[in-house]
Amino acid sequence: MTGDRTFVIVGASLAGAKAAETLRSEGFGGGVTLVGAERHRPYERPPLSKPYLRGEAAVDEVFVHPEGFYADQGIQLRTGSPVATLDRRRQEVVLEDGDRLAYDRLLLATGAEPRRLDVRGAELDGICYLRSLDDADRLRARLATASSVVVVGGGWIGAEVAASARQLGRRVTMVHPHQAPLQTVLGPEVAAVFRALHADHGVEMRMSTRVESFGGATAVEEVVTDHGDMIPADLVVVGAGATPRTRLALEAGLRVDDGVLVDGDLRTSDERIFAAGDVASAWHPLLGRRVRVEHWANALHQGPAAARNMLGQATPYERLPYFFSDQYDLGMEYLGHAPAAQRVVFRGDPATRAFIAFWIEGDRVAAAANVNVWDVVEALRRIITSRQPVDDDELRDPDVPLDALARDLVARAPTDGDPA
């Protein structure tokens, strides 16, 4: 009987909150406990680098659920409760305050944490990281009085914070080890669009550059680069990537390798323990490889999938990775996974900042991004999941409707039982 069982979710994150919600919506009548180290109830992270950071969104807008949701659903929410260890033999979660929570099924949704810079002066006041709501509050307060902001790193956090700081009228310099922001994610062709975007909005771009040290007495005053430049700064925001929070899993003896290893049903090497969100390195049945995705949509959908698998519903997680970003007047959506892409095909001119990019592996589309072009994600999804060869000219030609191209590729795909 499900009413006799207790499920514990470690990580009061978006993935954890949506998993708890799904357990109840699927009719689970047993105990559900959602444990979070932070003092806040679960919230969404994308606004923290964009409207919330700029003061355009109130704090109530970032929370996943209204304040009374968890009590109304019979979900025990324990905030400000860091977990010390997992006792797999006893099937218990041990909190730092000594409380022990027994579980029949356990979900790890512990997320990721910012990668810290290990350089001289890194401890100075005014050097900030952005991951949590408290981080965003501190950074928002500092941005109100900062004059010279240096953003270290040109990933999603770095690029979005740089855009927000410029929209607030601050002087911004971006220091990034690659030739363009987002190059490791999007490749040089599309990344060049973002480099030009930030430069056009007044960001001083210091590309192919690393931070050597930070200078200042007690607070940061300058950033010293490996080129010997000294950039004035009274605020530094570091966006040097993130690492999955795997300590609990590792110490408990679960299989870990750049995240907690899970199968297509999001089950770890312990059949009673599941993982979802930023911390999970999941086998993707469609892609045929492991994928760990640090984006909102993955947490939004993977948490519920894990919940259904905890209930024994056998729900493989097959959604394509998806993420979005808004910077200045540019909005983009990206769908798919293309670590081995050989080339990029454009529909539209990237110089206009309104185009679709296709990443090609062999003769198939592995990923696609629509930039300031809307209502095409479903067609792009069908093109990618068809796994069918497609001619570059068809992708490039704006007179070939994407919906028609998607229908044609899906029609070509073998059905179950047909030879591939």
pLDDT confidence of 417, banded at 50, 70, 90? very low
Q: Are residues 204 and 248 in the same domain?
A: no
In 3D, which of 133, 121, 307, 305 has the Cα closest to residue 219? 121
Q: Are residues 184 and 253 in the same domain?
A: no
CA distance 122 to 116: 9
Q: Can you give the pLDDT at residue 72?
A: 98
Domain closes at, from 310, 338, 357:
310
Residue 104 lies inside a defined structural domain of this protein: yes
Domain of 68 in residue numbering reads as 2-113+243-310
User: Is the pLDDT confidence value at 418 over 50?
Assistant: no
Q: Are residues 91 and 34 in the same domain?
A: yes
Looking at residues 226-236, what average pLDDT do you find? 97
Name the residue type at position 340.
A
Q: Are residues 208 and 60 in the same domain?
A: no
Q: Give CA 9 to chain center in angstroms.
A: 19
User: Is the pLDDT confidence value at 3 over 90?
Assistant: no
CA distance 276 to 357: 29
Please report, for the domain that includes residue 18, its CATH number.
3.50.50.60
Give burial (CB, 10 Å; 0-12/13-18/19+) of 417. exposed
Q: Can you give the pLDDT at residue 416?
A: 56
Q: Can you give the pLDDT at residue 1?
A: 44
Residue 321 lies inside a defined structural domain of this protein: no
Q: Are residues 18 and 163 in the same domain?
A: no
Q: Are residues 48 and 107 in the same domain?
A: yes
User: Is the pLDDT confidence value at 379 over 50?
Assistant: yes
Q: Are residues 120 and 106 in the same domain?
A: no
Residue 283 lies inside a defined structural domain of this protein: yes
pLDDT confidence of 4, banded at 50, 70, 90? confident
Segment 190-211, tens digit of pLDDT:
999 999 999 999 999 999 999 9
Q: Are residues 281 and 362 in the same domain?
A: no
Average pLDDT over the chain, rounded to whole? 96
Segment 302-330, tens digit of pLDDT:
999 999 999 999 999 999 999 999 999 99
Q: Are residues 163 and 18 in the same domain?
A: no
CA distance 98 to 84: 8
Q: Can you give the pLDDT at residue 420?
A: 35
Q: Are residues 46 and 90 in the same domain?
A: yes
Give, for 142, the enclosing helix (H) or strand (E).
helix 133-143
> What are the tokens at 365?
């589309």
CA distance 55 to 59: 9
Segment 27-46, tens digit of pLDDT:
999 999 999 999 999 999 99
Q: Give CA 239 to chain center in angstroms.
A: 13
Residue 320 lies inside a defined structural domain of this protein: no
Q: Spell out the residues 6+ positions from residue 34 whose beta carbon is closer than 8 angstroms to its own.
A: 9, 12, 16, 17, 20, 42, 70, 75, 76, 77, 78
Contact 181, 349 (CB under 8 A): no
DSSP 350: G
Residue 323 lies inside a defined structural domain of this protein: no
Looking at residues 58-70, what average pLDDT do you find? 97
DSSP 402: H
SS3 262: strand
In 3D, which of 262, 259, 384 has the Cα closest to residue 317? 262
Please report, for the domain that includes residue 371, its CATH number.
3.30.390.30
Q: Are residues 136 and 44 in the same domain?
A: no
Q: Can you give the pLDDT at residue 414?
A: 80
Q: Are residues 213 and 259 in the same domain?
A: no
Q: Can you give the pLDDT at residue 2?
A: 57
Number of domains in the chain: 3
Segment 329-343, tens digit of pLDDT:
999 999 999 998 999
Residue 109 lies inside a defined structural domain of this protein: yes
Residue 417 lies inside a defined structural domain of this protein: no
Domain closes at, from 187, 208, 240:
240
Residue 389 lies inside a defined structural domain of this protein: yes
Contact 144, 153 (CB under 8 A): no
Domain closes at, from 240, 266, 295:
240
